[in-house]
Structure 1
Amino acid sequence: MTVPTQIRTRFAPSPTGYLHVGGARTALFSWAYARHFGGTFVLRIEDTDLERSTPEAVQAIIEGMQWLGLHHDEGPFYQMQRMDRYREVIGKMLADGSAYHCYSSPEEVEAMRERQRAAGEKPRYDGTWRPEAGKTLPAIPEGRKPVVRFRNPTEGEVTWNDVVKGSITISNRELDDLVIARPDGTPTYNFCVAVDDWDMKITHVIRGDDHVNNTPRQINILHALGAELPLYGHLPMILGSDGEKLSKRHGAVSVMDYPAQGYLPEAMLNYLARLGWSHGDDEVFSMEQFTQWFDLDHLTKSPAQFNHEKLDWINNHYIKQADNARLAELVRPQMIKNGAQFDGAPDLQNVIALMKDRINTLNELSVAAMLFYRQPAPDAALLEQHLTDAIKPVLAQFAEQLSSVEWKKETVSAALKEILAAHKLKMPQLAMPLRLLITGQLQTPSIDAVIVLFDRAVVLDRLKKYL
C-alpha cells in the first residue's frame, strides 16, 4: 500500500448518544495509524442531525476519548460551526451544474417511489427537476422552498480499493441524486462529510462497515469538487458472544460503563486493539508497541466477537502490573461508599499489593479489600463450626506468641507452623478460625500475610474477644 507523506486520519462520531465500543475501536485504529506514521489525528463532531444531537452526547464522547487516552491533534471541529463553508460549496456546485434545485415535495417523492416499487424497480428520485439538454422543467410551485440535489453521474461505476474489504464497485445507476441541502439550507450528512474530509486533507478514512453504502456517494461528491480521494477502510462490526450485533443485552456497550465497572483504560485499549487486528500471537502489549506494530494490512475482514472473559483476563494482567498507589486512588472512593473505616487500618497500598493478583476488576478489588476496613462480624453458625472447645486453647497459645513475635510475615508464619506441629494439627484447623475472628470471613489470602497487615493490637483484641 502506498502511504502519503503526511498521514491525516479522523474520528467523526455523531453526538446522538454515548461513545460505544465499536466507535472506540474505530477511534483507536485511526489514532494508532496516525501515531505510527507521525501523522495527525483529527476529532470531528458530526452534529448536523439537530433532532438527535445533544451537548450531553458530545461530552460523553469526549470523556470516553479522554479516559482511553486517545488525544486528538486537531479539533474538535463541529459541523454546525461550518455552515458558511458548506453554503459556499453548495453555491459553487449550483453554479457549475453539479447540483440543482429540486422542488418535488416529500409526498411527491414518496409517490414516485411507490410507483417504482409497484413496477418492481428500485425506489429512487426520478430526476423530475434534474436539468438536461432540451428538457423543459415543470413550473415552480408557488411558495415552495427547494432542496438542493447532487447531480450524480448516470453512467459508469464507482470503484475503490477498500483497505479492509478489498476492491468494491457500485454502479452509478444504483445511486440517485441525493439531497445535499434541505429546504432551510441545512446541508446533509454525506455532503458535509465529503467537504470536511476535503478541507481537512484527510488521507485515510477508517470507519465501520455500516458506512460502506455512503462511500460511493461521498466519492462522487469529491470527484465533482475536484478533490483528492482519501483511502477508505471499513471495519466489520463487533458481535456479542452469541454472534449477534453487540447491544445492551450483551452487557456494557458504552465505553464509560467500563471504568464504572472497574476496568483500566490500558486494558480496554489492549482488548479493543485485538478486535479485528492481530500481530502474530501477541495478546498483551502496550500502546507504544501497538502504534509501532499497527498497520492496515492486518485488519481482518470478518466480524470480531466481544468476549468478556478475555477482557477480564487482560484487565487482571494490567491490574497486577499497575502501581499500587494508583490502584489505591482508584478504589478508595468506592470503598468509602461501602463504609470503609481507614483510621487505624492497614495501609491501602499494602492491602492492594496482597489482594490484586486474584481479582479481575477494580470493583472486585474494592470489595475484597474491605475485609481490612470494617469490623468483623462472623456468622454464628460458622463460629460454632470452627471455634470449637478443642481449638480455643490453641488459639490462645498462638495469641500469646503473637504478642511478642517480630511483626513480619516470616516470623508469624514460623510461629504458626510451630504451634501446628506441637498440637499435630493441619493448617485449615487453625487458619479457618483465625480468619473468622480476625476478618469475619473464611476466604482470605494467606493468613500469615493477612495478620501482619493489621496492627498487632487489633489482631490481639479481635482474638481476645472470643477467647
Structure 2
Amino acid sequence: MKIKTRFAPSPTGNLHFGNIRTALFSWLFANKYKGSFILRIEDTDVCRNITGSVDNIIKVMKWLKLHWNEKVYFQSKRLNFYNSIIDMMLQSGTAYKCYCSEDTLKNKKNIQILHSKNTRYNRKCRNLENNIYTTKKSFVVRFKNPLNGYVKFYDEIRGIIKFKNSEIDDFIIRRRNGIPTYNFCVVVDDLDMKITHVIRGEDHISNTPKQINIFSALNVPHPKYAHLPILLDIDYKKISKKNSNFNVIEYFKEGFLPEAILNYLVRLGWSHGDQEIFSLEQMKNLFSFKNVSKSSSIFDKKKLLWLNKYYINNLPTKNLISLFKYYISKENIDIKNGPRIEEVFQIFKDRCNSLRNMAISCRYLYDNNLNFKKIFIKKFFSKFYLVTLNIIYLHFKKIDSWKSSHIWNSILLMSKLNKLSLKNIIEPLRIIFTGDIVSPSISKIIYLFGKHKTLFNIKMYILYLKKQFI
C-alpha cells in the first residue's frame, strides 16, 4: 500500500502554527515511507472564505519547503462530482431530502436548549418519499445515519475510540443553495484521492464517526486516522487564526528561518529522546506516531527565538546572505555606500535572533547622517570626554592597517599611556558610532565604518562638544 496523506486547510484566514504542525506531520509521514503528500483547499463554505487566504496558504507552504506531489485541489471546482455522489445516495436511500424550514429548525433547537437537551434534528423527513414535494420547495439533503450500534476506529495516536450511533445526528450533507458540506466533501475527496492516512487536530475527532459512516454507506473502507493534540498559548487557550501572534506569515516578515519553524513545531507533541535539533532529513527518518504525545503543547516564542538564533549561527552563511539582503531592503536601508554585507552579517549574527532584527540593528552602519544624540551627550559627555576624543582621534589616525585587531590594540595602548579606563574610551565611541550604549565589539564596528569615516565622525563630535563646553 502506497502511503498518501493530505493537508486540507480552509481559506478562512491566515495559517497559524497549529495548521502548519498538522501539515508538517502529514508531510513527514508520507515522505518517511516514500509516499505522496497533497494540498487540498477546502473552500466550499463561500461565506467564510477570505480573499488572499489561498495565496497565503501556498506562499507559506512553499516558504517552509513542504512541497506537495500533485496539483493543488480545490473543492469548489469539484461540486458536480460531489452532487453526483449525493444523487446516488438519494437513490439508494442512504440520504434523504429534508424540507423543514430554517425557522422551524431554529425554533426546535431553541426549545431543546431551553430544556437542556442535545440539539438534534428530530428526523421528521427521514422516511418521506424523496419526490413527495415539487422541486420548487426548498430542501437540504441529510445523511441517513444508522440509528443503532457503534462507530469504532483505531486512532494511530490515541488507540481505540468509540461512539454510539444514537448520539450522531442526521447531519446535512448538502445545503439549500446546492453546496455540499465539509463532512461529506472530505469523505469523497479522501476516497477519490486514495488518502491512506488522515492526520489532523483532535478537534476533528467528533467529525470522524460521521465520516466513517459515510464511507460505510458507500461500501468502501475508511482511511486510518491520527488526531494530533492541540496547541495552546501561554494562557492555555487554543491558538487560532484570529490571533496574529500565531500567524505564520508574520514570522516570515520578522525574519524567522523555515528550518527553525519546522524544528520547533516538530518538537511540539513529538520527541526522539532528548534531542532538540533536527534537520528535515532527520525528521523524516525518525518520525513515528508512537512518539506523538496525547497531551496539548504550549507555544513558547522564546524557545522559537532561541532556535532561530541557533540556525542563523549554524546554517551556511552563503545560504543566509541573500535572505539578509532581503530584510535589509525591506527596512529601506541603502547598502551601496557602506561595509560589505558579508562582514556585517558575521559581526551581528551572534547578537540577533532574527534576520529582520539584524537588519534593524545594523542600520547605523549605512546611515550617512551623523546623529548627535543630545540625551546621551547630556548624560555621558563632559569636558573630560572632549579631551578623551582628541586622544582617540590622534591614536586612530596613526593606524596604518585598518583592522579590528589593530583598532583594539590602539584602544588598549591609549588606555595604558593616558591612564584612561576602557569604559571611558569605549562608551563615547559607542555613542558616536551606534547611537546607543550597547553594541557588538566596538573595534569591529569601527572597522566596518572605515578609517576615513571614523576620523570624520570623531572630528565632528569634537567640534560639536567644543561649542557646548568652551
Answer whether TM exceeds 0.5 for this pair. yes
Q: Which residue of 1 aligns with 2:466?
A: none
**1:348 deviation in Å?**
1.8
Matching of residue 222 in structure 1 with residue 228 in structure 2: no
Where structure 2 has 5 or more consecutive residues not aligned to the other structure, the ranges are 463-470
Q: Which amino acid in structure 1 is aligned with residue 447 of structure 2? A: V
Q: Which residue of 2 aligns with 1:44?
A: 40
Which residue among 418, 442, 451 is the counterpart of 1:447?
442
Which residue among 423, 426, 439 is the counterpart of 1:428?
423
Q: Which residue of 2 aligns with 1:173?
A: 166
Q: Which residue of 1 aligns with 2:355?
A: 362
Q: Distance in 1 between matches of 2:65 and 2:107?
A: 50
Q: Which residue of 1 aligns with 2:81?
A: 85
Q: Distance in 1 between matches of 2:223 and 2:155?
A: 10
Q: Which residue of 2 aligns with 1:419?
A: 414
CA contact (8 A) 2:14 2:241 kept: no
CA contact (8 A) 2:244 2:250 kept: no
Deviates more, 1:347-356 or 1:393-402: 393-402
1:374-389 residue pairs with structure 2 within 5 A?
374=367, 375-383=369-377, 386-389=380-383
Q: Name the CA shift for 1:390/1:55 in 2 (closer, same or farther; >3 Å).
A: closer
Q: Distance in 1 between matches of 2:172 and 2:51?
A: 26
Q: Distance in 2 between matches of 1:118 and 1:200?
A: 43
Which residue among 285, 288, 309 is the counterpart of 1:316?
309
Which residue among 203, 223, 239 is the counterpart of 2:232?
239
Q: Distance in 1 between matches of 2:114 and 2:440?
A: 72
Q: Which residue of 2 aligns with 1:191?
A: 184
Q: Distance in 2 between matches of 1:197 and 1:431?
A: 66
Q: Distance in 2 between matches of 1:385 and 1:55?
A: 52
Q: Distance in 2 between matches of 1:367 and 1:56?
A: 28
**1:363 deviation in Å?**
2.5
Q: Name the CA shift for 1:387/1:50 in 2 (closer, same or farther; >3 Å).
A: closer
Matching of residue 297 in structure 1 with residue 296 in structure 2: no
Q: Distance in 2 between matches of 1:128 and 1:211?
A: 28
CA contact (8 A) 2:173 2:183 kept: yes
3-state SS in 1 of match to 2:377 = helix
Q: Distance in 2 between matches of 1:142 and 1:34?
A: 45
Q: Which residue of 1 aligns with 2:23?
A: 27
1:247-266 residue pairs with structure 2 within 5 A?
247=240, 252-266=245-259
Q: Which amino acid in structure 2 is aligned with residue 242 of structure 1? A: D
For residues 365-412 of structure 1, give each alpha carbon's deviation from its aligned partner in whole angstroms, at most 9, with x where no partner exists: 112101211133232353355454445445434433433331112222
Q: Which amino acid in structure 2 is aligned with residue 402 of structure 1? A: F
Matching of residue 151 in structure 1 with residue 144 in structure 2: yes
CA contact (8 A) 1:10 1:43 kept: yes
Q: Distance in 1 between matches of 2:188 and 2:139?
A: 21
**1:443 deviation in Å?**
1.7
How big is the alpha-carbon RMSD for the aligned residues of Structure 1 and Structure 2?
2.5
Q: Name the CA shift for 1:221/1:367 in 2 (closer, same or farther; >3 Å).
A: same
Matching of residue 15 in structure 1 with residue 11 in structure 2: yes
Matching of residue 458 in structure 1 with residue 453 in structure 2: yes
For residues 321-364 of structure 1, give each alpha carbon's deviation from its aligned partner in whole angstroms, at most 9, with x where no partner exists: 24445544434455456553434311122112101111122232
Q: Which amino acid in structure 1 is aligned with residue 453 of structure 2? A: V
**1:100 deviation in Å?**
2.2
**1:138 deviation in Å?**
11
Equivalenced residue count is 460
Q: Which residue of 2 aligns with 1:348?
A: 341
Q: Distance in 2 between matches of 1:426 and 1:104?
A: 88
Q: Which residue of 1 aligns with 2:433?
A: 438
Calculate the TM-score normalised by the size of structure 1.
0.91
1:266-281 residue pairs with structure 2 within 5 A?
266-281=259-274
Q: Which residue of 2 aligns with 1:72?
A: 68
1:111-130 residue pairs with structure 2 within 5 A?
111-113=107-109, 121-130=117-126
Q: Distance in 2 between matches of 1:6 and 1:338?
A: 47
Q: Distance in 2 between matches of 1:101 and 1:435?
A: 77
CA contact (8 A) 1:160 1:167 kept: yes
3-state SS in 2 of match to 1:206 = strand
Q: Name the CA shift for 1:129/1:424 in 2 (closer, same or farther; >3 Å).
A: same
CA contact (8 A) 2:228 2:294 kept: yes
3-state SS in 1 of match to 2:148 = coil
Q: Distance in 1 between matches of 2:100 and 2:375?
A: 80
Percent same amino acid among aligned pairs? Answer: 39
CA contact (8 A) 1:101 1:146 kept: yes
Q: Which amino acid in structure 2 is aligned with residue 425 of structure 1? A: L
CA contact (8 A) 1:205 1:232 kept: yes
Q: Name the CA shift for 1:380/1:47 in 2 (closer, same or farther; >3 Å).
A: closer
Q: Distance in 2 between matches of 1:211 and 1:338?
A: 42
Calculate the TM-score normalised by the size of structure 2.
0.90
Q: Distance in 2 between matches of 1:83 and 1:151?
A: 21
Matching of residue 402 in structure 1 with residue 396 in structure 2: yes
Q: Which amino acid in structure 1 is aligned with residue 83 of structure 2? A: R
CA contact (8 A) 1:240 1:250 kept: no
CA contact (8 A) 1:279 1:293 kept: yes
Q: Name the CA shift for 1:155/1:415 in 2 (closer, same or farther; >3 Å).
A: same
